[in-house]
Chain A
Amino acid sequence: MELAGQTWVGQSVPRVEDAALLTGRGRFIDDLATRPGTLEAAILRSPHGHAEIRAIDVEKARAARGVVAVLTGRDVQALTSSMVVGVKAPLECWPIATDRVRYVGEPVAIVVATNRYLAEDAMDLIEVEYGALPAVIDPLAALEADAPVIHPSLGRNLASDRSFRYGEPEAAFAAAPHRVEIAVRYPRNSCTPIECYGVVAEYDPGEDSYDVLANFQGPFSIHAVISRALKVPGNRLRLRTPPDSGGSFGVKQGVFPYIVLMAVAARVAGAPVKWIEDRLENLAGAVSATNRATRLAAAVERDGRITALDWDQVEDCGAHLRAPEPATLYRMHGNMTGAYAVRNVLIRNRVVLTNKTPTGLNRGFGGPQVYFALERLVQRIALELGLDPLDVIRANLVPTAAFPYKTATGAILDSGDYLGSMEAALLEGGHAELLRRRDAARAEGRLYGIGYTAVVEPSVSNMGYITAVLQPAERKKAGPKNGAQATATVAVDPVGSVTVHVASVPQGQGHRTVLGQVVADVLGLRPSDIRVATDMDTVKDAWSIASGNYASRFAPAVAGAAHLAATRLRDRIARVAAGQLNVRPEDIVFRGGRIGSASNPENAVPFTRVAAATHWAPGTLPEGLEHAIRETVFWTPPELAAPTEADEVNSSLCHGFIFDYCGVEVDRVTGEVRIDRYVTMHDCGRILHPGMVAGQVTGGFAHALGAALYEEYSYGADGSFQSGTFADYLVPTVMEVPEPILLHRETRSPVTPLGAKGVGEGNCMSTPVCIANAVADAMGLADVTLPLVPAVLASHLHPAETAPKGRPAATAPALSGARQLFGEGTAEVAAPAQTVWDMLLDPQTLQTVIPGAHGVEKVSDTHFKADVTLGVGPVKGRYRAEIHLADLVPPRSVTLSGETSGALGFGSGRGFITLTETEGRTILGYRYEAAIGGKVASVGGRLLDGAARFVIGQFFASLARHAGGQAGESRPGVFARVRRLFGGAP
C-alpha cells in the first residue's frame, strides 16, 4: 500500500488555536462557568520563613460575613494523608502547615466564602501566634552540623545522599596531566506563566469521590499522589483540565497540593470550591526551580580532552520534598557528560531542605543547573590550558560515527552530528565577524566577550529515572519503573469526520494544530478536516502516568502516538475500501479527501463515505474486521529501560543537540550587559512545524535570558521572601530580549515514530551559561554568578563604595536579613514642648494622630499597644504593635522601640525623637531604623522606604494639626473635629 503524501507536516500552517485566543474566546479555567453555589477560597499564608505555630484563632473569621468554612492544617490532616515523598527518609509532606511553617507563603489556613472578596476580608481576622525559629537559606549551610533542622523527624536537613561511579575515574584522574576544578552556584528562578494556578473542586459524599478541574499540566503520575493523599482510589478522583491554559513551562505541575487543599475544602464546606491563585501567592508559594551548589572537577589531557569528571552536587529542594522531586537532580543523570565523550565519571548527589519555596518542574528541569557547571568548566579548561574554547569543545564532542552512543552514565544518544552542527553554526552565524567585532571593541577599551556552549537536550523522560535516587537493592524491592506511555485516539463519526484526542494537556504549544497536520497526512485529508481535543478527563480519556505536557515529549512521543493511531485506523479503513473498490488493500491510497486505487485513480470514493461505513453497515465489513471506528494507541519506547544494577540510566528517549555562541558587551560604568549577537543552532530531529519550533526557541531563549541577567528568588537570611511582585521579580520585557539568530540541522531520531525530538527546553540549558561565559570572557573573571545584574558586575568594575553618611548607628537588634529601613526628618508643631510631649504620651491623642490607628492602649507609662491598618504598595493590612519608651527626658527626648506583626508581615524598629522649643513652637527631630519581613517585604520592598517616610510624615503633620487645633487641649474636641471636617481653618 502506498503511503499518503507527506503534505502538511513540516509546514507552518496557521494555528487552529489562534482565532479564539485572539478574540477573547479562550476557555481558561477562570473563564469557565461553575455550578451555582460554588464558593471561593482564599489562603492565609505564612509571613515567616521558619516558625512554630503556637495557636491559630479562626473564630472571628468563621463568624464573618459570607464565610462558610475555615480550615487549618489540623482540619486538612483529619481528612488526608501526607503526600508521598520520593526518597526513603522519615519525611512527611503536607500541603498546608501543621505544627510549623517552613517557608514564606506556606498555606496556614483556608477561608471559604461566597466570594473571594469576603474570603479575603475574613482571612484578615485570623490570628496566628508564631514563635519565630532560626531559618536556613543556603544549601551548604543547611548541611552544617549546627544548622537549624527544618524537619525534626529527619533530624537533619540532608534528605538523600547517593554516590555513583562509572568507568575508572580514580585512575583517569591519577593519569591525567591536568585537574581543573570549579565551584559554582545556580540560582533559584521560576518560569512564572502569566496565568496563575486555578482549581475548582467538588466532593460527592454518596460515592466518596472528588471531581476536580485544575489547570494542571501533568505528569499524571501525580494523579496517584493526589488520590492517595485524599485517601480514595484513583477512580474516585476525577481530574479534568480546562481547554486552554495560560502557559506553564513545568510550573503548573505544582498546582497539585492545592488540588488536595481545595478538594478537602469542598468536602468540609459541602459545596464546590473555586480558588484562583494571585501573583503574590504564585511567586512566593507556587514552585521554583532548584538552586544548586556544584563542585566539578575534570581530568584533562594536554589537548583539552576530558578523561574523567567528578561531580559533587548539592540540590536545594526548599522546605518540602514534593513529588516528583528530587527529579530535577536525576533528570539529567544519563547526560552528566553533556555532549562529550567522557567514559569515567564520579557523582555525588545530595538533596537538602531549606526554608524556601518547595521546588518542582520548570523549563529546562535540571539541565540549566548541570550545564552551568559543565560549560563553565569547559571554558575554565581552555583558560587554564591556554587553548581556544572551541578546540576544547571539538576535542570532546561525541564523534558523528559513534551514534547511537551510550554515555558513561547510561543514556543512549540516539542520533546527531555534533561536530558538523557546530562547524555549520560557526559559519552560518557569522563567527568570524563576531571575532572581528570583539577585537575592534577591545581595541577601543570596551569590555567585549564571547561565550560558547554545546549542549545535549534530552526529551521524553523515562518514568524510571527518578528511581536512581534509590539504592539498587531498594529499587529491586519497589519493583521496576520505566517507559513513557504516550497515548492517542483517532476516531471517525457517522458522517466520516475525524476526531483526535491525546492526553498532552498543552499550555499554548499548538498541539491541536500539529496533530491536525500529522493525522491529515496519514488520512489524505486537510488539517481543517480534523478536530483535535487535548484537554483531559481521567475518567473518560485514555491516559497513563506519563501523560501530560513535560519533558518536551509532545513532538517525539505524543505526535508519534497520534501518527500510529491514525495509521492503524487508516489500515482498517483501507480494508473496507478495498472491498468496496474491489482492489487489494495494498493498492489503496488516501489522497485529497478520497480513497482510491493507486493503479487506477478513477476508481475512488470520498473518504467520508468509506469511513462512515462501519457505523451504518457493519454487516458489509470484510471478514475479520470488527470495526474501523476508533483506534487508541499506547506507545512506549523499548529504549526506556529501568535503571540497571550498575546505576546506568537511559533517563530520556531522544537527544537534540544545541550549539550556541554569543558576543556581549559589559558597560564599563553601569555594569549592564548588552547582547550584541546570539546564535543558537538546534538539531531537534525532524521539524513538524517550523513556526512553532521557532516560537519554542525564542520563548525558551527569553526565559533563559531572564535567568541569566535578571531573575532570582531572593530571600533574606531570616527566610523572608523579597521578590513577591513582578516589580521585584524582574521578568524580561521586549526591551531586554534581543532576537537570536536561529539555525537548524535535521538529524532524525531513529527511536521516535516521526523522527522528531524535543526542542522546548534546550535554550534554558544552553543560554544562561553561554551568556555567563561571554561575560566572564569580557571581564576576565574566573567566577561569575547568575543573575548577572549590573550591581554585581559593577562591583568588579569599581572599588567598594563607602557607606553613605547620616545613617544612625545600628542600635536596635535588627532582624537579620529582613528589609532594612532608615530615615530621619523634622517637623514643626505650633505648641510648646511640654504640650507636644504630653500628646506623644497620651493614648487618645496617639489614636487620633497615628495614621490608620484603631485602638491605642496604655499598658504602663512606658508600654503601649496599638492596632493599626497600613497600606504599603498593593498590600493593606492590620498590624498589632507593641511600643516601649525608654530614656525619657521630658520634655526633650525619648527613644521608642517596638515590634509589630500582622497577617501581612512583621517588623521591629527603633526611633529617637527630640523636641526643641522656640517661641512657643516645637521642632521635632526624629531618626528611625526598622527591619521589615513577611508579605510587605515580599511585595512592597521597593516601596517601603517611601511608604515609611509617608506614614511618618503623616504622623507628624497630624500631630501638628492636632496641637494647633486644640491649643493645649489633650483630647480632640468634638467641635474641633467637626470644624476640620467642614474645612474650617484649624
Chain B
Amino acid sequence: MPRLGADRRHEVRFTLNGRPVEGEAEPRMLLTDFLRHVLGRTGTHVGCEHGVCGACTVQIDGAPARACLTLAVQVEGAEIRTVEGLAPAPDRLSVLQESFRAHHGLQCGFCTPGILMSLDELLSRRPDASEDDIRHQLSGHLCRCTGYAPIMKAALDAARRLRGEGETAADA
C-alpha cells in the first residue's frame, strides 16, 4: 500500500454500482462520509459509526462490509455496491425490494439500505438460504421500528421468489 500523508488529500477512484467514480479524501475520511458527502450518494446511512447497527452496510468486491469502519482510501480500485444500485431501473424495484414493500419490512427506512445490501449478498451467494441463514445474516443489523418479524417475512418471500417458487403476496 502506498504511503499516504495524514494531512493531504488523495485521489480515490473506484467503481460504484457499475460506474467509475472519483473524489478526494484525507486518509482518515470514512467511506460513509465519502459516499454520502463527497459523492452525494446518501442512500447508505450512518446509525452508530462503531460497527454495530449495520445501517452503513455496502458490498465491497461482492462482500458485505461496514462502510463506517472502512476508510475511503482503502477501497481504491474496488467494486462497491450500495442501495442505489439494487433496483433494475429507476421506476422498478428488485425482487428483494418488492418483498420488503409487500410485507411492510420497513417503517422509517433508516436501517433498510444496510439490511438490503446484506440480504442481497446472501441471496445471490446462497439462493437456497434457509430461515436460519437469513436470521443469522440479519443478526448484524439493528432495526428499531419493525420488530424484525416483517423483515424476516420479506426476506423469506424474496428467497422463495428468487428461487422461482411463487409470487410475492402481502401478508394482510
Q: In the complex the two chains form, is B28's CB within 8 Å of A117's CB? A: yes
Residues 180-212 of A contacting B (Cβ, < 8 Å): 191-196
Is B112 interfacial (CB 8 A cutoff)?
Answer: yes
Residue of B with least CB distance to A705: B147
Which of A15, A25, A193, A726 sits near B110, CB closer than 8 Å? A193
Q: Once bound together, how far apart are the Cα atoms of A437 and B30, in whole Å?
A: 52
Could you say which residues of chain B place their CB within 8 Å of the CB of A23? 43, 83-84, 86-87, 90, 93, 97
> Of B44-52, B59-67, B159-167, which stretch is located at the interface?
B44-52
Is B80 interfacial (CB 8 A cutoff)?
Answer: no
Residues 100-141 of B contacting A (Cβ, < 8 Å): 100-102, 104, 106-113, 116, 135, 138-141
Q: In the complex the two chains form, is B101's CB within 8 Å of A14's CB? A: yes
Residue of A with least CB distance to B17: A24
Could you say which residues of chain A place their CB within 8 Å of the CB of B152? 734, 739
8 closest A-B pairs by CB: A24-B43, A508-B108, A21-B109, A246-B110, A698-B147, A702-B147, A508-B107, A726-B52
Is B75 interfacial (CB 8 A cutoff)?
Answer: no
Residue of A with least CB distance to B146: A699
Is A130 interfacial (CB 8 A cutoff)?
Answer: no
Q: In the complex the two chains form, is A733's CB within 8 Å of B142's CB? A: yes
Interface size on A, residues (CB 8 A): 58
| Secondary structure of the A contact surface, majority rule | loop
Could you say which residues of chain B place their CB within 8 Å of the CB of A249? 144
Closest-CB distance, B139 to chain A (whole angstroms):
5
Which of B83, B104, B135, B144 sits near A734, CB closer than 8 Å? B135
Could you say which residues of chain A place their CB within 8 Å of the CB of B139? 733-735
Could you say which residues of chain A place their CB within 8 Å of the CB of B148? 698, 702, 733-734, 737
Could you say which residues of chain A place their CB within 8 Å of the CB of B156? none
Could you say which residues of chain B place their CB within 8 Å of the CB of A94? none
Is B73 interfacial (CB 8 A cutoff)?
Answer: no
Q: Once bound together, how far apart are the Cα atoms of A939 and B50, in whole Å?
A: 10
Residues 14-28 of A contacting B (Cβ, < 8 Å): 14-15, 17-19, 21-26, 28
Q: In the complex the two chains form, is A726's CB within 8 Å of B116's CB? A: no
Which of B29, B48, B100 sits near A18, CB closer than 8 Å? B100
Residue of B with least CB distance to A874: B50
Is B55 interfacial (CB 8 A cutoff)?
Answer: yes
Which of B36, B41, B50, B102 sits near A30, CB closer than 8 Å? B36
Given that A18-B101, A733-B138 are known contacts, is A24 also in contact with B108, CB under 8 Å in the complex? no
Q: In the complex the two chains form, is B108's CB within 8 Å of A507's CB? A: yes
Residue of A with least CB distance to B87: A23
Given that A28-B45, A194-B53 are known contacts, is A22 also in contact with B171, CB under 8 Å in the complex? no
Could you say which residues of chain B place their CB within 8 Å of the CB of A486? none
Q: In the complex the two chains form, is A22's CB within 8 Å of B48's CB? A: no
Is B15 interfacial (CB 8 A cutoff)?
Answer: no
Could you say which residues of chain A place their CB within 8 Å of the CB of B171? 12, 691, 694
Could you say which residues of chain A place their CB within 8 Å of the CB of B104? 12, 15, 691-692, 694-695
- Type the 1/0 row for A741-760, where 1 means its CB is closer than 8 Å to any CB of B: 00000000000000000000
Given that A24-B44, A725-B48, A727-B50 are known contacts, is A698 also in contact with B108, CB under 8 Å in the complex? no
Q: In the complex the two chains form, is B142's CB within 8 Å of A247's CB? A: no
Could you say which residues of chain B place their CB within 8 Å of the CB of A699? 107, 144-147
Task: Output the residue of B83, B87, B104 with the most chain A CB within 10 A.
Answer: B104
Q: Once bound together, how far apart are the Cα atoms of A733 and B84, in whole Å?
A: 25
Q: In the complex the two chains form, is A17's CB within 8 Å of B109's CB? A: yes
Could you say which residues of chain B place their CB within 8 Å of the CB of A874? 49-50
Q: In the complex the two chains form, is B108's CB within 8 Å of A739's CB? A: no
Is B78 interfacial (CB 8 A cutoff)?
Answer: no
